[in-house]
Amino acid sequence: MIPASIQEKIGLNLFKNSNHPIGIIKEKIYQSFPNFYRNETLPVLVNLDQNFNSLRIPDSHPSRKTSDTFYQDGETVLRTHMTAHLTDLIKAGRSNYLICGDVYRKDAIDRTHYPIFHQMDGFAFSTDPELDLRESLSVLIKNLFGHQVKFRFLEDKVRNDIYFPFTINSCEVEVEILDAEGNNTWVEILGGGTVHPEIMEACGFKNRKGWAFGLGLERLAMKLFSIPDIRLFWSTDERFLSQFKAGQINTFTPYSKYPPCYKDLSFWLPENFEENELNLIIRENGQDLIEEVKLIDKFVHPKTQKISHCYRINYRGTSKTLLNSEIDQIQNLIRQDLTNKLQIELR
């Protein structure tokens, strides 16, 4: 059930390379929590209790669908967040922790989304979790972005779209950054809150409180190093890797990119069409040679009411210019695979 393109990345452990941007960011975060228990070796395969049930994630939640999560079998998934380990660690009596690892989600393909990314989760017992979380995160953000950084806490009391089933007083933190056009914009870098009292009780700590947060390392690294494309983190190209040194945050200098090539794909939709499934099949056949998949046209047949979509696949090599024949070969594999697996009708 877990595709080969994903399998082969399990265990690469980018975050354990101290000269890789993901490893550099990880170390920076550790420095803000000097006495916390750390664990980087928790297993990526977890059961449904760990990833969902113990965290009060309802049965109907979209993240449980096979179109969103990689299932190994009916009981086991590739963790979709590091919070999958929260209840095990609290039960084991950890009073605080930082845990780092790779997480997996079926997702769109673009410059900021990749099916594997890295998260750091933090937790600590506290008598005033709301205040302590705010203080800890303020220290962390200033350490990462410098004391001049502008950041803000968005609270569930004010914004009802901020919600995690496993926390109360949930919040998100946004940091102000300069975007590619030179404008100031706010970007979300983490979610957090007070661990839900029912979870504390289920872990055997009825009268204790704790705060927790989870942040995405790629998001942080892309901002801090000015890395424009999330696929670059997986590059083995020396022109990428040689630019980073342990303990240093410097601006990435892009090297000349290889030219892009577009191929369009039009088809009639089957009854239960899931765009994530389409993306996954395309990704599986195209590996890292596909930069983006974009819906560029929708059409409803006036007589039959059948719906047609046209997707544009943007091919671009990460280490060489692709030959037209190579791209055609991949495009044909994608067409065959989609027809077999999704019952789509190619046009």
Interface contacts to ligand FA5, rule CB under 6 A: 81, 83, 105, 107, 113, 117, 119, 121, 164, 167, 188-193, 212-216, 218-219
For residue 322, give the DSSP letter: P
> Cβ-count burial of 133 within 10 angstroms (0-12 exposed, 13-18 middle, 19+ buried)?
buried
Q: How far is the CB of 116 from ligand FA5 (least distance, A)?
A: 9
Identify the H or E element spanning 284. Answer: helix 275-286
Q: Which is nearer to ligand FA5, 212 or 232 (CB)?
A: 212
- Shortest Cβ distance from residue 269 to ligand FA5 (Å)? 25
Closest approach, Cβ 195 to ligand FA5, in A, equals: 8
Distance CA 187, CA 106 (A): 22
Which CB, 214 or 331, lies closer to ligand FA5? 214
Closest CB 92 distance from ligand FA5, rounded Å: 17
- For ligand FA5, give the closer residue by CB, 261 or 278: 278
| Closest C-alpha among 263, 254, 265, 264 to residue 318 | 254
Nearer to ligand FA5, 113 or 263 (CB): 113
Start-to-end CA distance of the chain, whole Å, equals 28
Helix (H) or strand (E) holding 326: helix 324-342
From the CB of 206, what's the least distance to ligand FA5, in Å? 20
Structural element, H or E, at residue 80: none
Label the pairing between strands 37-39 and 96-104.
parallel
* Residue 113 vs 335, nearer CB to ligand FA5: 113
- Rounded Cα distance between 133 and 129, Å, is 6
Local structure of residue 40 (DSSP, 8 states):
S
Two tokens, residue 27: 């170390």
Q: How far is the CB of 173 from ligand FA5 (least distance, A)?
A: 8
Give the residue nearest to ligand FA5 (CB). Answer: 216
Instruction: Please work out, in degrees rounded to the nearest 5, the angle formed at the alpha carbon of residue 124 by the alpha carbons of 122 and 126.
Output: 145
Shorter beta-carbon distance to ligand FA5: residue 162 or 338:
162
